[in-house]
Amino acid sequence: MGITINDTQDRAGFEDILTDLEAEHVHLGVFDADGVFRHKRVDAAKAAKLARNGYQFCDVLYNWDTAERPYGGGAFIDRPAFLDTASVRSYPFADREAVCIADFAMPFGERSARNQLARLLDRAHGLGFTVNSAFEFEFMVLDETPESLRAKAFRDLDHFAAGNRTYSLQTAALHGDLLTGLEACMATLGIGLDSIHTELGPGCFEAPLQHAGGMRGADNAALFKSFAKAYFLRHGLMAAFLSKMGEAMPGQSGHLHISFSGAADGAPAFADTSAPDGLSTLARHFVGGLVTLMPELLALCSHTVNAYKRMVPGAWAPTYAAWGVQNRTAAVRVINDTAEATRIEFRVPSADTNPHAALAMCLGAGLWGIENEIAPPSPRDDDCYATPPDAGAAFPATLGEAAERLSTSRAARAIFGDTYIDTVVQARRIEEGAYRRHVSTWELNRYLEVV
């Protein structure tokens, strides 16, 4: 499943790439369950040896929570892993260094969202299609450092560009060098930005990524988040990819765009210019699967407690499963300006989403819809915020509810297997439990003097 490193051509190609990059060191990383890039820096000779002989990484990545507190017991041993030789790219913060993504090998690797995505990409290819995708992230830049966050107990934080407004020429003019530097950082990584502009809220920016085929779309998104945070830290700032920074703040999205093209001819597979809405039957079945399964698979793309504070009325985020053509109030927006650009925008993921898990969820549900010929409900052309959901379309209100829905979903287990679903459910229950034990300032202010 996925990229292997067991044949001579892959190994030789990997070493050739390192030579072409003049890389003396390689940053090898594995994405954990939250989509965080956990890496080690090794010299190029060792990286080549690991590509030839295999790699080992500690299985604690699937046995600890977001705060790095281990759970579940076990010996926390090293597990066999592999280097994805197709993922190599230049490292942006030093010369003669490269980045390479690794992942756990089977059977332990079933727990990995990236491995799940690789399997689904293979399934799409078996049906004759290449999957193209691109994420767009909204994030807030804070005029803070890790030290100042702790000194302030994470309260009363200062925002960079506090007077920022949506699509602001003034903010871009004042801070053009910073944004140009971010673009250059990502270009070194081979990540293209379709644009970058200010968004709603203090210090808020949006960066839509250029689309890419196969695994590259999710890899680019996950690396963008990790390296954007590092880039801004190098400038004494912090990039925050939370869903909601505060009750008075707008939500931060991580919208996902996806389309299919013919693996043989590259023709857009989601487009049918003879159809009234420009959508092919394939695309309609994809939408049907996504809309049908979205409520029960939600924990895969919305895996934090904070994500559910964005999916409420008034936060520019969907609250139930619906779709529409060019309708930004629906959870699934079909964009059909031209046949070549026809695609599906999945508007549920927040900025804090795990890109590999989000794309796997979207693709898995869509393929399920195609294979079962699921017809979507009628498209919506009204304001979805102003009308109640259809029966069964409402989203779980909390991470705990979403974990329970995922646990009992027969479709989820059929698409992803018991090992992956049980791993996700256990981790999300632990995260929800940590939240429920927390006593917030809101509760003290609300109840201390009254009850």
pLDDT at 338: 95
Helix (H, G, I), strand (E, B) or coil at 360: helix
Cα 393 to Cα 331, 363, 384: the distances in Å are 11, 19, 12
Residue 4 has pLDDT above 50, yes or no: no
Report which of 258, 248, 282 is spatially closest to residue 370, judged by C-alpha positions: 282
- Mean pLDDT, residues 278-296 taken together: 98
Take residue 125 and report the two structure tokens written for it: 């290819």
212 or 172: which leads in pLDDT: 212
Q: Is the pLDDT of residue 9 over 60?
A: no
What is the Cα–Cα distance from 406 to 411, expressed in whole angstroms?
9
Residues 6+ away with beta carbon under 8 Å from 184? 92
> What does pLDDT average to over the chain?
94
φ/ψ of 176, rounded to 5, equals -60, -40
pLDDT score of 123: 98
Stated pTM of the model: 0.96
Pairwise CA distance, residues 54 & 78, whole Å: 12
* Least confident segment among 68-72, 206-210, 257-261: 68-72
**pLDDT confidence of residue 115:** 98
> Does residue 5 have a pLDDT over 80?
no
What pLDDT does 74 receive?
A: 81
Cα 92 vs. chain centroid, distance in angstroms? 21
Nearest to 100 by CA among 18, 210, 192, 16: 18
Per-residue burial over 419-440, b = 16 or more CB atoms within 10 Å of its CB, e = otherwise: ebbebbbbbbbbbbeeeeeeee
pLDDT value at position 11? 60
Report d(CA 212, CA 162) in Å as an integer.
33
Higher-pLDDT residue of 105 and 72 is: 105
Q: Which domains does the chain have, with CATH numbers?
A: 8-111 (3.10.20.70), 122-447 (3.30.590.10)
Going by their DSSP bridges, the two strands 129-142 and 212-213 should be labelled as antiparallel
Q: How much of the chain exceeds pLDDT 90, in percent?
A: 91
Contacts of 288 by beta carbon, 8 Å cutoff, 6+ apart: 369, 374, 375, 376
| Residue with token string 């209100």 | 397
Peptide bond into 107 cis (omega under 30): yes
Q: CA 382, 252, 178 angle in degrees (round to 5)?
A: 130
225 band by pLDDT with thresholds 50, 70 and 90: very high
What is the predicted pLDDT for the residue at 72? 78
Average pLDDT over residues 329-356: 97
pLDDT at 10: 61
